[in-house]
Amino acid sequence: MGRSRRPRLATTRSGLELLRDFADGQLEASVAEGDDRPLIGDRVRLSESSQRLVRIAALSAVNAPTVLWVTQLGDDPAGVDLDDVAEVLLEIAPIIGGPRLVSAAEQALAAARYAEDVETT
């Protein structure tokens, strides 16, 4: 049995061509002909909750400031469960290391507190 494949991006370019474009910094060359939507961001076929968890992993990896965490956790706190955030952090901990894990946990808590404060006012 073969692995099931995810749906392909709506583009006329192959994965290899896309990766080469990305590596060369040519993101605009990666959209399908006649399609004016950006390739980055709005084309992902993940659920909204999964998209946010992926972004949270990325924020953790780059040690992003709280304001960026609020954009993922603060605008719709029901959209991402903090248990899921903790699981993501545990999963990426071997890659990002202890100090970034601690920082990410602090940022997630600060963003969650902000969301609660906004909700109660």
Give me the number of domains the chain comprises.
2
Parent domain of 88: 48-120
Instruction: Count Cβ atoms below 10 Å from residue 108 Cβ, excluding itself.
Output: 23
Question: What's phi and psi for 45, nearest 5 deg?
Answer: -100, 25
Question: Is residue 3 included in any domain, yes or no?
Answer: no
Is the Cα torsion angle 111, 115, 120, 121 positive or negative in sign? positive
Q: What is the pLDDT of residue 5?
A: 45
Asked whether residue 27 falls in the same domain as residue 74, the answer is no
What was the pLDDT predicted at 35?
54
Least Cα distance to 21 among 35, 46, 12, 41 occurs for 12
Residue 85 falls inside a structural domain: yes
User: Is residue 60 in some structural domain?
Assistant: yes
- For position 75, what pLDDT does the model report? 60
- Per-10-residue mean pLDDT, the chain, length 121: 45 74 70 54 70 92 91 69 93 96 94 82 74
Q: What is the pLDDT of residue 60?
A: 96
Is the Cβ–Cβ distance between 68 and 59 less than 8 Å? Answer: yes
